[in-house]
A and B are shown apart, each in its own frame.
Chain A
C-alpha cells in the first residue's frame, strides 16, 4: 500500500532513474563473500593486542593493585594502570556533547563505580596472552553498597556514585516541574477525567553484532595517530583525539571501512579507545583492542531504563486537553551521552494543547547510558502506554481515542505546546492506513471470539512523530565532494560513516540521478578523515536529508558544468541539453550528443578547449544545511499478540507499520530499516532485559541470558507507505532510521496489555516476557 504526496516537485528535478528503485546494494558483493573490512580484520606490522582488567565490584575503593606477575609473563609488553596515563593526555570531550561532559578517565583512578569499570590494560603478543596476564593482576577492592535502583537514587545521600569527586547528590540533572501552558492546573481541575499512569521502560541495549574495537598506531617521529575503529563518526573521533593528544587534526587519521552495526552505541568516543591510543603512544607500537561479547554487554553504553508518571486530562468528547509527565532516567555511572526523554516531544503527533513536565537524570553504579536508536523515545513509550491505559480505564476504544486527537494533514502547520512546529506529516493518515491493513473491526470480533474460547489476543497501537536531521551541536550540515574522473566515472566523497545503513547505495542513487550517469559508474568514498569532508556522524536519522542534500547540490553543480562544457563543444544552447546515463544530448534529439567521458577528457586533458574563463577540472564541493530543523517523519505501528495462558509466552501474530518518510530513495532500504528497528523494540519488550542484582552485579552477560529475537520469534512485518515530501531538503526526504525502534516498544507492550486487560490487569511496565506476565497474573489473583 503506497500513496505519494508531492507538493514540491520542481520542473528542474533530475530524471529519477534510480531514486525510488530498490536497486541492489553496492556494499553486498564484498560483504556476502567474506571480504568486508571490519576493524578486527585489520593488521599492522608489529601490532600488539590489548585486554582490560575490569572491576567485578559495582562500587568500592581500590586498596591494592599488583601487576608484577602479569608483567613477568612472557609475551607481555606492558601493563598500564591509571598512574601511567595520569598527565599524558589533554582535553577529553566530544564535539557533539561539548566540554561539560568529559569522557571518564581511561582507567579507574582510586575507586570503581560500576561492574566493568576498567582498572588495568595489558598489552601483549596476542589476545590470549593478554587475557592470561589479566588473570595474574592482583587487585583488592574495598566494596561499598552500590546504588542500583534509579527511581530513588536522587534521594540517597548516604551512597554517592561520584562522592569521590565531591558531588553531593546522585542527581546529574534535576529539572523541577515546568508548565508550558498557563492554564494547565485549571485544566486538570476542570477535566471530566484525569487519568494517571506510571510507565516504566526496562534497560535493554544496542548489541551491535560487531562489538567495539580499535587499532591504534601512533608514529612517534611524526606525532601522527592512525586509528581504525568501529565507530559512527570518523571525523568527530579524529577531532577528539586531536584534542586528547594535543596534535593538529591533520595528524590524526581515522578510518572505518566496514562497521558491524552501532545503533547509537558507537556514536561517541570511549575510555577504552583512549586507553588503547595512549598505550600505542607510550609503546610506539600498533595496538589492537577488540571488545568481546561479555565486555560489550557489561561495559558498552547501556540504554532505556526510564520511568514516568503521565497524567492526561480528558474531556467528555474524548479530547485530551493536557498531558504532563514526572520523569526520571537512569544514566548509570559514566554516561557516554545522557540520552533521555525530550519532554517537549511528549504530546507527539496529537493536538493536545497543554503540557507540563519534570525530569531528572540520576547516576547509579551501573553501566553508563549512551544513545540507542531514538534516544529520546521514552516520550513515545510513556504517552502511548498512558493513552492505552486511559482508554482501558475509561472504557474507550483506544483507536477512536487516538483518532479524535491526532493531527492530520488538514491541521497543519501546527505548533505544539512543546513549541514543536509541525508540517508535512500525516499522523491520522497513517493510523487510518494501518487499521485498514489490519481490518480493525474484524480483529475486535476475532478477539472477542477468542476470549470466549479462553484465548488471549491483544492489539497494541503506537503513533509517533520522529524528529530527524536535527541541528544541535555539529549536526546541522554535511559535506560532499563530487568529481567526474577523467575516465568519466564519478566519485563522491561524503562525511558519513555507515554502520549498515546502505549509505553507499542510496547516496550513489542520488549522485547517479543528479549528475546523469549510471549507478554502476558511481563510487562512494566515506569514513576516511584524510579524504572526505567533515561529517558529524551517521546517526539521528540524518543521512538521507543532510548528506543526501549535500550529494544532490554538489551533483547539480557538476551536472551544470558538464552541460556548459558540452554546450560549448557542441555549439548548442545549454538550456537545450540534458545529461542522461552518461551522455549529454540535445533534448528530443538524442543523436546530437557527447559522452560524459568525452566531457571529462576536455575538463582534464584538453582544457584549452574549455569555454573562456572556465576553470579546468570537473568537481564540486558543497556543504548542505536543511532549510528547517528538524525534518519530521511519522508512523503508526499496530501489533497483534496472542498469549498462551498455560505458558504465558506471548506470540506476535501480526505487525503492521504505516509510515511517512517522504520520498523514498530505495524502498528496500527503507523497509529494511523499519524491519530492524521494529524487531529491536519488540525484543526489548518480550525477550531482552539487562538485569543487575541489588549489589550491582550484572546477571545477563551472555546471549544465553540476554535474549535477542531470532527468526522464530519474529512475525512477517507488513508495511504501508505514505510519501509526503519534505521541503527541508531538495530531495523531499525525511529521516527514518530510528522510527521502527521508537514505535515498536509501546505497540508491543500495549498489545500484551490488551491481551490481559479482560483479566483486570493493567500492564504499564516493560519487559513483558513470560515471567513478567505470570507475575502480573499472580498479582491479579489468576495464579
Chain B
C-alpha cells in the first residue's frame, strides 16, 4: 500500500470575503484546510464523522459540515466561518443573543451552533420554537442542555424581526 504518493492540488476559495489560495493534498478535509492552511481555528472538530455539527460552516449560503468535505471539493466556493460572522468584533444578532442568554459554557460546540443558527434564521427568519429545535438538532452540545441555546435563537429571531 502506497500511502504517500499523493499529488498536491491548488485550492482557491473566498473565505469571509477574502480570496485565499493554498496547495493541499486531495485527501485534506475542508475543516483541516481552514484550520491548518488558513489559520482559521474557530471551526472546531468534535467527531469528524458528520454527527456533532461543531465544524459547521456556510458554503454558498448553505450550512455544511466541513469535516465531511475535502478542501478540493470547494474550489471556487464562497465560505463563511464563525470568524466571518463578526468581522469587526461586532457580534451578529445570533452571537449577541447567545451572550445575553448564556447560550454557551465551554464554548467548543459554540461556533457550530452560531453558524447553524445564523444559516437557519437566514433561511427561516420567523421560526417556531419547534422549528428552532429541529433546525439545531444536528448540533451537539454537552454543557448547556440546550435550554439557553434555544432561548438565544428565539431571541435573535424576535429581535431581528422587531428591527425590520
B108-164 CB contacts (< 8 Å) to partner A: 108-111, 114, 132-134, 136-150
Quick one: given A32-B99, A132-B4, A712-B133, are A676 and B105 in contact (CB under 8 Å)?
A: yes
B104–A32 CB distance below 8 A? yes
A27 at the interface (CB under 8 A from B): yes
| Smallest CB gap from B109: residue in A | A209
B1–A34 CB distance below 8 A? no
B136 proximity list for chain A (CB < 8 A): 710-711
Interface bits A262-306 vs B (CB < 8 Å: 1, else 0): 010000000000000000000000000000110000000000000
Quick one: given A708-B142, A711-B133, are A703 and B47 in contact (CB under 8 Å)?
A: yes
Which stretch from B7-15, B58-66, B68-76, B78-86 is at the chain A interface? B78-86
Please report the C-alpha to C-alpha distance between residue A293 and residue B44 in the assembled complex, in whole angstroms: 13
A75 proximity list for chain B (CB < 8 A): 4
B28 at the interface (CB under 8 A from A): yes
A668 at the interface (CB under 8 A from B): yes
Cβ-Cβ contact count across A and B, 8 Å cutoff: 188
The 3 closest A-B CB pairs, nearest first, are: A34-B42, A260-B108, A500-B106
Interface bits A706-721 vs B (CB < 8 Å: 1, else 0): 0011111010110000
A35–B42 CB distance below 8 A? yes
B49 proximity list for chain A (CB < 8 A): 293, 702-704
A697 at the interface (CB under 8 A from B): no
Quick one: given A33-B82, A38-B108, A293-B46, are A679 and B146 in contact (CB under 8 Å)?
A: yes
A29 proximity list for chain B (CB < 8 A): 89, 91, 99
Question: Which A residues lie at the B interface, using CB under 8 A?
Answer: 22, 24-25, 27-29, 31-36, 38, 40-41, 73-75, 128-129, 132, 135-136, 207-211, 258-261, 263, 292-293, 499-502, 668-669, 671-672, 675-680, 702-704, 708-712, 714, 716-717, 740
A128–B27 CB distance below 8 A? yes
- Taking A25-B102, A209-B109, A209-B141 as known contacts, 5 extra A-B pairs with beta carbons closer than 8 A to each other, sorted by chain A number, are A24-B100, A38-B108, A209-B54, A703-B47, A714-B146
A676 proximity list for chain B (CB < 8 A): 105, 142-145
**How distant is A299 from chain B, measured CB to nearest CB, in Å?**
15
Of the A-B pairs whose beta carbons lie under 8 Å apart in the complex, a sample of 12, sorted by A's number, is A24-B102, A32-B98, A32-B107, A40-B45, A41-B41, A209-B46, A210-B108, A259-B106, A293-B46, A500-B107, A710-B146, A714-B147
A261–B106 CB distance below 8 A? yes
Please report the C-alpha to C-alpha distance between residue A729 and residue B105 in the assembled complex, in whole angstroms: 25
Interface residue tally on B, bucketed by range: 35 or more
B100–A209 CB distance below 8 A? no
**How distant is A36 from chain B, measured CB to nearest CB, in Å?**
5
Please report the C-alpha to C-alpha distance between residue A132 and residue B132 in the assembled complex, in whole angstroms: 41
B51 at the interface (CB under 8 A from A): yes
Please report the C-alpha to C-alpha distance between residue A129 and residue B139 in the assembled complex, in whole angstroms: 30
Give which listed residue, B81, B85, B114, B137, contacts A712 with CB less than 8 A: B137
Please report the C-alpha to C-alpha distance between residue A24 and residue B95 in the assembled complex, in whole angstroms: 12
**How distant is B25 from chain A, measured CB to nearest CB, in Å?**
7
A710 proximity list for chain B (CB < 8 A): 136-140, 146
Please report the C-alpha to C-alpha distance between residue A248 and residue B48 in the assembled complex, in whole angstroms: 39
| Smallest CB gap from A701: residue in B | B49
B3–A34 CB distance below 8 A? no
B3 proximity list for chain A (CB < 8 A): 73, 132, 135-136
B21 at the interface (CB under 8 A from A): no
Please report the C-alpha to C-alpha distance between residue A33 and residue B115 in the assembled complex, in whole angstroms: 10
B142–A261 CB distance below 8 A? yes
Give which listed residue, A31, A34, A36, A675, contacts B147 with CB less than 8 A: A675
A210–B106 CB distance below 8 A? yes
| Smallest CB gap from A297: residue in B | B47
B4–A74 CB distance below 8 A? yes
B142 proximity list for chain A (CB < 8 A): 207-209, 261, 263, 676, 680, 708
Quick one: given A33-B82, A129-B4, A132-B4, are A209 and B148 in contact (CB under 8 Å)?
A: no
A703–B100 CB distance below 8 A? no
Please report the C-alpha to C-alpha distance between residue A31 and residue B54 in the assembled complex, in whole angstroms: 13
Please report the C-alpha to C-alpha distance between residue A499 and residue B114 in the assembled complex, in whole angstroms: 20
Quick one: given A500-B107, A500-B143, are A128 and B148 in contact (CB under 8 Å)?
A: no
Quick one: given A34-B83, A714-B146, A717-B147, are A500 and B105 in contact (CB under 8 Å)?
A: yes
| Smallest CB gap from A678: residue in B | B145
Please report the C-alpha to C-alpha distance between residue A716 and residue B132 in the assembled complex, in whole angstroms: 13
B105 proximity list for chain A (CB < 8 A): 261, 500-502, 672, 676
| Smallest CB gap from A30: residue in B | B107
